[in-house]
Amino acid sequence: MAKQDRAIRTRLTILTAAAKVFEARGYQAATISEILAEAGVTKGALYFHFPSKEHLAQGVLREQDQWLPVPDRPCKLQQFVDTVLLHAYRLQTDPMVRAGVRLSLDQQAHGVDRSGPFLRWGGIIGELLEKAQAQGELLPHVKTAETAEVTVGAFAGVQAMSQAVCEHQDLLARTSVLLRHLLPSVTLSSVLASVDLTPNRGGAVFAELRPRPAEEERAASQDG
């Protein structure tokens, strides 16, 4: 078990280092030697887990999706908003998420399948919109699959613009503005009036998902 734990920790160390280098340099300019130096592991250890730079990039893209889903809300539109704003908050605060986003938008990442995050987000957003539609929260004309694609595409554009302008410092505000422009075209006004679209909502949801101190202590004792 201890050997397996060490392998898991080594893999995460390598991915964290790769995320830092990919975020700073982009896929094409990043090198295995830089990632090795950042991770402080042997070449053999790296290649045991990731046979190539492409495998490292795919690992970062998958790792950014390892997060707890937003708890069920009575209002599915609020759950939709919370999901989007939580991701924006994590992009501001989590280097793994930032690296994954940069890779997914990096047109120079030749050989890397960048479709995964877009398809996954389309599925998540589409499912939440379908639930909102089933509860009568959306306008009658809405086609949830189309709205999901528009949301994901627009959100990707907002992320790219925020990164270029100010290194994501205003991403929560920009995402809030995006939702305020998008949602009135698909949502009943009576529902939208009760939804929290404010920029600080993402941080509040993140705090809700964090383990409480007693839970952290219990998890630590179980790990030990």
Mean pLDDT within 72-80? 96
Q: Is the pLDDT of residue 21 over 90?
A: no
| Same domain (yes/no): 98, 205 | yes
CATH number at residue 194: 1.10.357.10
| Same domain (yes/no): 88, 183 | yes
| Same domain (yes/no): 87, 189 | yes
| Same domain (yes/no): 182, 124 | yes
Q: Is the pLDDT of residue 96 over 90?
A: no
Inter-residue contact 120 to 133 (CB < 8 Å): no
70 domain-assigned: no
- CA–CA gap between residue 178 and residue 176 (Å, rounded): 5
Q: What is the pLDDT of residue 149?
A: 96
| Same domain (yes/no): 116, 194 | yes
184 domain-assigned: yes
CA of residue 206 relative to chain centroid, distance:
12
50 domain-assigned: yes
166 domain-assigned: yes
Residues in contact with 99: Cβ distance below 8 Å, sequence separation at least 6, in sequence order: 18, 19, 20, 22, 23, 60, 64
Q: What is the pLDDT of residue 55?
A: 87
140 domain-assigned: yes
88, two tokens: 């924006």
CA dihedral 208→212→218→220, nearest 10 degrees, is: 80
| Same domain (yes/no): 92, 192 | yes
Higher pLDDT, 190 or 69: 190
Inter-residue contact 77 to 137 (CB < 8 Å): yes
45-54, 64-73, 157-166, range with the lowest pLDDT: 64-73
Q: How confident is the model at residue 212 (pLDDT cuts 50, 70, 90)?
A: low
CATH number at residue 30: 1.10.10.60
Mean pLDDT within 30-51? 90
- CA–CA gap between residue 175 and residue 162 (Å, rounded): 10
**CA quadruple 199, 201, 202, 206: dihedral sign:** positive
| Same domain (yes/no): 42, 87 | no
Which of 98, 30, 109, 29 has the alpha carbon at shortest distance from 60?
98
| Same domain (yes/no): 41, 100 | no
pLDDT digits (tens, 9 = 90+) for 125-167: 999 999 999 999 999 999 999 999 999 999 999 998 998 899 8
Residue reference for tokens 């991701």? 87
* Domain count across the chain: 2
Helix (H) or strand (E) holding 194: none
Q: What is the pLDDT of residue 3?
A: 66
| Same domain (yes/no): 90, 152 | yes
Q: Rounded to the nearest 5°, which phi and psi values hold at 4?
A: -65, -40
Q: Is the pLDDT of residue 220 over 70?
A: no
Global pTM value: 0.78
Inter-residue contact 125 to 152 (CB < 8 Å): yes
| Same domain (yes/no): 141, 99 | yes
183 domain-assigned: yes
| Same domain (yes/no): 126, 195 | yes
CA dihedral 157→162→163→168, nearest 10 degrees, is: -130
- CA–CA gap between residue 224 and residue 212 (Å, rounded): 18
170 domain-assigned: yes
The range of the structural domain enclosing residue 24 comes to 2-58
| Same domain (yes/no): 19, 106 | no
Q: Is the pLDDT of residue 100 over 90?
A: no
CB atoms within 10 A of CB 110: 9
